[in-house]
Structure 1
Amino acid sequence: MPAVFQTLFPFLRWFPLSRAKLRADLLAGITVALVLVPQSMAYAQLAGLPVVYGLYASFVPVIVGSLWGSCSQLHTGPVAMLSLMSAAALIPFASPGSDHFIALSVMLAMMVGVLRLFLGAFRLGAIVNLLSTPVIVGFTNAAALIIGLSQLSKVIGVPFPRTDSYLLDLWRVVTQVPQLHWATLAFALGAWLVIAGLRRVAPSLPGVLIAVVVATVASKLIGFEHRTSVSPEQIEHSSLLATVEAFDKARTRIDQLTTEIADLSRQAERLEQRGGHDAIKEAAGLRAEAAVLEHDLKRLKSDNTLRQVEMHATPLRAVRAPEGVLRFHADADLTEKAEHEPGLWRFSNVSNGTIVLSAGGAVVGDIPQGLPSFELPKMEWGLVPALLPAALVMALIGFMEATSISRAIATTTGERVDTSKELVGQGLANIAGSFFGSYTVSGSFSRSAVAARTGAKTGLFAIISALAVVLVLLSFTAYLYHLPQAVLAVIVMLAVFGLIRIQPLIQAWRIDRVGAVIGIITFAATLLMAPDIANGILLGVVLTVLHYLIRTMRPRAEIVSRKADGTLGGIEAHRLQPLSQDFVPVRFDGSLTFINVAYFEDMVLEAHSEFPRACAVLVIGSGINEIDASGEDRIHEVARRLREVGVCLCFSGLKHQVMQALEKSGLVDELGREAFFPDKETALEMLQERCAGAAERAGAGPRTGGAIHTPVAG
């Protein structure tokens, strides 16, 4: 088969499919589907989307990622990390769960897909090397904590306020612990016991699916949701009604502001495309107006989340009036002997003047039945620059996850993983998925591990798992109505807390303390900057690059002498006596380029100043891998300055490419070939003879200039 077909259609490697392969893939596909369905719904909620969008993201992207990926056992679909990053990137621009938020989630998936496809097509996957191991570990640990603890509100059944400070929001959740819903907590603990227990006792059983089925049945049997819709006249609590009214008005205003900001951005973009001084000026005015509205929008959202917490903290008791209508009073206003319906009621929602109260827990609710329709993603070009940094980080993080999973699996299967092809496959999966209502996806470690463990042979297993999702969308969504959201929260928490690793940072501390500190800073910054967690890893990347530049600007350079075992070592680090006062050997472990030539000059001149009697400075250059024009020019300058005081600049052990560059520049002839030695031992021996003879001839008086004129031995 021509190689071009293998490149364009990598899934052709699956064929021919034997009966044994088909059987193995069928079993693996069904097993993965049992994990995929509940996981995808949980991760969709983490992304701020209705649960059905998790199922949409488990259909087309799974198939495309499998067909065009390079690892047969990698399963593409919703993952916890990118779900949280997607929500964090979009919350400043739309309310979670709203139509605008859904449209932006799909648009972000398209952006991430295009970036990954670009990186893969031009084989730029090496850019992920900017993410050092300590930075990745620090970011992953912080993100896992953020993801896991963000589910705490669902576990105890209280609102989770969303403001600009994740830690402050989390603290507000903790302060609501006295108002926890015991039945919700019971479902969460029960799901945790089932999933964790089956993992230990019977790991072959689908613990996640069993927990979902049992919890859904139990929720329906006991009427866990227990909601009612009432009119404002039925609530005998004036302050609560006032807060509800303010909440509803603010939410309406939030929707209006979101629309106005989008319109202003589109108008400004059209003016900027038109060009011209007046158009650009008008566009700047529109941008400024949009910025003011964005500030108001952010304030309204913050105020409304706090109102939601306040309303939930106001429990009500239901009292049946003589006419049979339920009226809801503040719990504190009723005496113990007053006749009232059992249970506490709390505010849940308000819509079109009707207030929804709940005495139970939160469930998944209605899930639209049917497959996602084909629809072009709605691109809001005015938001593309604002979302681009987050999209780039998501593209790199998702790529890093997918390739690390693929390589881990490849160590057992022996399959070769092509990172560029994997980038192309992941990019196409996100692009194709965005046309079918999918948000950002990537390779899943847990589902890929299940596939490898159950013996998947080709990517056909992923297609089988996607067909199982299709079956759920067509026939079983109605049965998921009563699934408690607390169970989905536990699924997320168990998945992400397993990502937390401390040992790599401890190991990094032993080897590279600066790198370890950068990892710790990344961890702290990600927590502090949440929900904008992409900024945390960007800070880590910037610090890593700065650390690398500083190390490159100041490579290891030291005056050396003999250690007890005969090898050379730094005289300061090992407290050694100098080899001689007549010459000074200096080791320089770095390429001579524009970024560090100033440091090279300082190091050589400082060595000469410490040994003023020396007639030569020897640069042990076996660690110099390259030299540029700035390096050559600086050597010329340093050699001239030393020659003026009668000191020769010498080199030993220069690599072929460096020596060749110096010969082409004429510097070898200028310094004299006797100033270049093939290795350091020869250089030390020859300089011992030369400089000792020069010192005897010069006596105690100062040298008056010129290079060493002792003939070269041999």
Structure 2
Amino acid sequence: MPGYKKAWLPGDLAAGLTVGILLIPQGMAYAMIAGLPPVFGLYAALVPQLVYALTGTSRQLAVGPVAMDSLLVASGLGALALTGIEEYIAMAVFLALFMGVLQLAFGLLRMGFLVNFLSRPVISGFTSAAAIIIGLSQLKHLLGVEIPGSNRIQQLVSHAAAALPDTHLPTLGLGLAGIALIVGMKKWVPRMPGSLAGVVAGTLAVFLLGWDQAGVKIVGAVPAGLPEFGLPELDMERVSQLFPIALTLALIAYMEAISVGKAVEEKHGKNRIDANQELRALGLSNILGSFFQSYPTTGGFSRTAVNDQNGAQTPLASVFSALVVGATLLFLTPLFHYLPNAILAAVIMVAVFGLIDLKYPRELWKNRKDEFILLLATFALTLGLGIVEGILLGVLFSLLLLVYRISKPHIAILGRIRGTDYFKNINRFSDDIEEFPEFLILRFDGQLFFGNKDYFRKELVKHTRQKGPDLKFVILNAEAISYIDSSAVYMLRALIRDLRRDGIRLLLAGAIGPTRDILFSSGLAEEIGRENQFVRTFEAFEHCRTATGKTEMERKVSTQSARPPV
């Protein structure tokens, strides 16, 4: 605040008021997704915003309830045998505390890198599937009938199909009209909050026409006043049951916040986001929010975009948003008595179906088939098995794909391009390559460790056999080898002995400093021989062809190490 500029105030005020108004219908709608009374969406939009404004590093990030986390809450708590709505609310609030403690701990331990394990194909597939499940979960409010909840698409569709004959037509008509109004305003009047217009129009229609007497379900009485302070109820028997969902929420919520925060950061090119401080800020927001009856929150995509578009310059915009929500809780809750559930369902459906990404999967299909399959698998597993199972299996498969890739790195057989000292992949420059029967020159593009050492040896032996009895020299270009573990060191020792037994000399070219340090500390450099280590592939090649010795500088650079030899 000491450095606050008066010129920022109009933008912060406009953005704060706009986001605050948007938060009211969105927060109530997202609380319904979580299986909570609508007022808890307003509670979640209050204290966490204020805490993040004081502790976060993004100037535009709008923190509050979001669709994805709300569905995760419903999915996680729905699997527990809870006795009633009071226990359900208590567990949702405790989940915010549990999730916040994990985020704060990760932040203090500087573990912001954990979000890197959520690859973009996994995130895209999970988000699109979750959006479909969230949208279908609102059919009961749109159709005006009771439909058993589920986070598996096959059950949702079958339950909805069975309930179709009982559809309440006035409710369906009102919900479809709400969707049309919100979508139309988003297209034709994008600066106006269409969800708020839908809420106002729907509430007036029910109040003036008395549709609540005709069977249209409404929100009913919304408790007035600010949330009371209180410590979340701690049930130690539930901690182990809630840990998987709390951990998933902590990581997913952090991923959402950091991704949208970085997107805004890249747009403005300033105010760098501190990933670990973001974890701490989100953790504190959820911890302190749980003391005021908030359920899990994070940075929202749509609200942050609105915040930025309306000129937010500092976190003071979030303070103004919280004031709008607070004023609503204090003075305006009676206005929401006649708010129809079908309109809140319309707000949710329009918001979440915008999260379905079709462009990115098409790009992967054209360029990266393996990642497209990963995206598709995560999408299908999330739809068929459930939200938590889908994201966890998606992460597992992405790690398996990573392990597979690093277990079989790219190996290039090199040849000299005619008239130059360049050595390039013979498959890429086949028309311009000179090959020599007495030489096998290869480049290994990856770390050499226990997971790929056997693959490396197998490929090298295969190519030595293909060369035949004329082979005299194997030159390993080690420019891309940044690490060699102890298992690979033992493999190389055995390989060197086998090659020498067959009358083949192994030479090493281009090893970088950290690799040379490992070679010398392990004693492998001496087994290879200092005379067989070179800075460039061309130098090793010419040395073998002409039998010339290395210059003093070539010898010094090729065998330099920060570690003394053993």
Structure 2-normalised TM-score?
0.91
Matched residue of 1:216: which SS? helix
Q: Is the 8 A contact 2:147 2:160 kept in 1?
A: yes
Kindly provide the CA deviation profile for residues 282-338 of structure 1, in whole angstroms up to 9, marking residues without a partner as x: xxxxxxxxxxxxxxxxxxxxxxxxxxxxxxxxxxxxxxxxxxxxxxxxxxxxxxxxx
User: Structure 1's 220 and 401: CA in aligned 2 closer, same or farther, altered over 3 A?
Assistant: same
The alpha-carbon deviation at position 578 of structure 1 amounts to 7.8
The alpha-carbon deviation at position 94 of structure 1 amounts to 4.3
Equivalent position of 1:542 in the other structure: 396
Question: Quick one: distance in 2 between partners of 1:16 and 1:96?
Answer: 52
The alpha-carbon deviation at position 510 of structure 1 amounts to 3.6
Equivalent position of 2:466 in the other structure: 610
Kindly provide the CA deviation profile for residues 494-521 of structure 1, in whole angstroms up to 9, marking residues without a partner as x: 1111111122222233443222211110
Matched residue of 1:162: which SS? coil
The answer on 1:712 being equivalent to 2:549 is yes
The answer on 1:71 being equivalent to 2:71 is no
Equivalent position of 1:38 in the other structure: 25
The answer on 1:84 being equivalent to 2:71 is yes
1:455 to 311, 319, 323: 311
Equivalent position of 1:188 in the other structure: 175
Matched residue of 2:70: which SS? helix
Task: Select between 204-213 and 419-428 the one with higher mean Cα deviation.
Answer: 204-213
Equivalent position of 2:255 in the other structure: 400
Equivalent position of 1:491 in the other structure: 347
The answer on 1:685 being equivalent to 2:555 is no
Which 4+ stretches in 1 moved above 4 angstroms? Answer: 94-97, 562-578
The alpha-carbon deviation at position 569 of structure 1 amounts to 5.0
Question: Quick one: distance in 1 between partners of 2:452 and 2:6?
Answer: 63
The answer on 1:179 being equivalent to 2:166 is yes
The alpha-carbon deviation at position 527 of structure 1 amounts to 0.3
2:531 to 650, 669, 674: 674
Matched residue of 1:192: which SS? helix
The answer on 1:382 being equivalent to 2:369 is no
1:392-541 equivalences under 5 Å are 392-413=247-268, 414-530=270-386, 533-541=387-395
Question: Quick one: distance in 2 between partners of 1:143 and 1:55?
Answer: 23
User: Structure 1's 22 and 573: CA in aligned 2 closer, same or farther, altered over 3 A?
Assistant: closer
Equivalent position of 1:640 in the other structure: 497
Equivalent position of 1:243 in the other structure: none
Matched residue of 2:58: which SS? coil
1:554 to 408, 413, 420: 408
Task: Select between 600-609 and 619-628 the one with higher mean Cα deviation.
Answer: 600-609
Question: Quick one: distance in 2 between partners of 1:136 and 1:21?
Answer: 35
Question: Quick one: distance in 2 between partners of 1:34 and 1:97?
Answer: 32
Q: Is the 8 A contact 2:44 2:289 kept in 1?
A: yes
Question: Quick one: distance in 2 between partners of 1:156 and 1:564?
Answer: 74
Kindly provide the CA deviation profile for residues 572-624 of structure 1, in whole angstroms up to 9, marking residues without a partner as x: 67778881221211221112223222222222222222223111222121111
The alpha-carbon deviation at position 568 of structure 1 amounts to 4.7
Kindly provide the CA deviation profile for residues 376-414 of structure 1, in whole angstroms up to 9, marking residues without a partner as x: 111222222222122112111111111121122223442
Q: Is the 8 A contact 1:29 1:463 kept in 2?
A: yes
Matched residue of 1:225: which SS? helix
Equivalent position of 1:595 in the other structure: 451
Question: Quick one: distance in 2 between partners of 1:618 and 1:496?
Answer: 56
2:157 to 159, 170, 175: 170
Question: Quick one: distance in 2 between partners of 1:580 and 1:147?
Answer: 63
The answer on 1:365 being equivalent to 2:220 is yes
Question: Quick one: distance in 2 between partners of 1:565 and 1:461?
Answer: 65
1:330-345 equivalences under 5 Å are none
Equivalent position of 1:127 in the other structure: 114
Note the aligned Cα RMSD (angstroms).
Answer: 2.2
Question: Quick one: distance in 2 between partners of 1:512 and 1:165?
Answer: 28
1:197 to 176, 184, 188: 184
Q: Is the 8 A contact 2:418 2:434 kept in 1?
A: no
User: Structure 1's 142 and 476: CA in aligned 2 closer, same or farther, altered over 3 A?
Assistant: same
Q: Is the 8 A contact 2:152 2:383 kept in 1?
A: no
User: Structure 1's 97 and 562: CA in aligned 2 closer, same or farther, altered over 3 A?
Assistant: farther
Equivalent position of 1:625 in the other structure: 482
Matched residue of 1:649: which SS? strand
The alpha-carbon deviation at position 672 of structure 1 amounts to 2.3
Q: Is the 8 A contact 2:509 2:535 kept in 1?
A: yes
Kindly provide the CA deviation profile for residues 345-400 of structure 1, in whole angstroms up to 9, marking residues without a partner as x: xxxxxxxxxxxxxx512111121122211111112222222221221121111111
Q: Is the 8 A contact 1:591 1:625 kept in 2?
A: yes
Q: Which runs of 5+ in 2 are unaligned?
A: 552-566
Task: Give the residue type in structure 2 aligned to 1:465.
Answer: S
Number of corresponding residues: 547
Task: Select between 14-23 and 538-547 the one with higher mean Cα deviation.
Answer: 14-23
Task: Select between 165-174 and 25-34 the one with higher mean Cα deviation.
Answer: 165-174
Equivalent position of 1:144 in the other structure: 131
Kindly provide the CA deviation profile for residues 547-591 of structure 1, in whole angstroms up to 9, marking residues without a partner as x: 111221221124333568976555567778881221211221112
The answer on 1:55 being equivalent to 2:72 is no
Matched residue of 1:45: which SS? helix
Task: Give the residue type in structure 1 aligned to 2:403.
Answer: L
Task: Give the residue type in structure 2 aligned to 1:547.
Answer: L
Equivalent position of 1:26 in the other structure: 13
Question: Quick one: distance in 2 between partners of 1:407 and 1:394?
Answer: 20
The alpha-carbon deviation at position 104 of structure 1 amounts to 0.8
Equivalent position of 2:246 in the other structure: 391
Matched residue of 2:326: which SS? helix
Task: Give the residue type in structure 1 aligned to 2:491.
Answer: R
Task: Give the residue type in structure 2 aligned to 1:473.
Answer: L
The alpha-carbon deviation at position 122 of structure 1 amounts to 1.8
Task: Give the residue type in structure 1 aligned to 2:40.
Answer: Y
Q: Is the 8 A contact 1:559 1:586 kept in 2?
A: yes
Task: Give the residue type in structure 1 aligned to 2:188.
Answer: V
Question: Quick one: distance in 2 between partners of 1:79 and 1:48?
Answer: 13
Task: Give the residue type in structure 2 aligned to 1:401.
Answer: E
1:205-224 equivalences under 5 Å are 205-224=192-211
Matched residue of 1:415: which SS? coil
Matched residue of 1:623: which SS? coil
Equivalent position of 1:287 in the other structure: none
Q: Is the 8 A contact 1:74 1:448 kept in 2?
A: yes
User: Structure 1's 686 and 564: CA in aligned 2 closer, same or farther, altered over 3 A?
Assistant: closer
Question: Quick one: distance in 2 between partners of 1:368 and 1:60?
Answer: 17
User: Structure 1's 361 and 574: CA in aligned 2 closer, same or farther, altered over 3 A?
Assistant: farther
Q: Is the 8 A contact 1:49 1:96 kept in 2?
A: no
The alpha-carbon deviation at position 434 of structure 1 amounts to 0.7
Kindly provide the CA deviation profile for residues 262-298 of structure 1, in whole angstroms up to 9, marking residues without a partner as x: xxxxxxxxxxxxxxxxxxxxxxxxxxxxxxxxxxxxx
Percent identity, aligned pairs only, is: 39
Kindly provide the CA deviation profile for residues 95-138 of structure 1, in whole angstroms up to 9, marking residues without a partner as x: 59711111111111111111111111222111111011111111
Question: Quick one: distance in 2 between partners of 1:502 and 1:170?
Answer: 22
Structure 1-normalised TM-score?
0.73
Q: Is the 8 A contact 2:262 2:273 kept in 1?
A: yes
Q: Is the 8 A contact 2:133 2:151 kept in 1?
A: no
Question: Quick one: distance in 2 between partners of 1:428 and 1:94?
Answer: 29
Q: Is the 8 A contact 1:87 1:96 kept in 2?
A: no
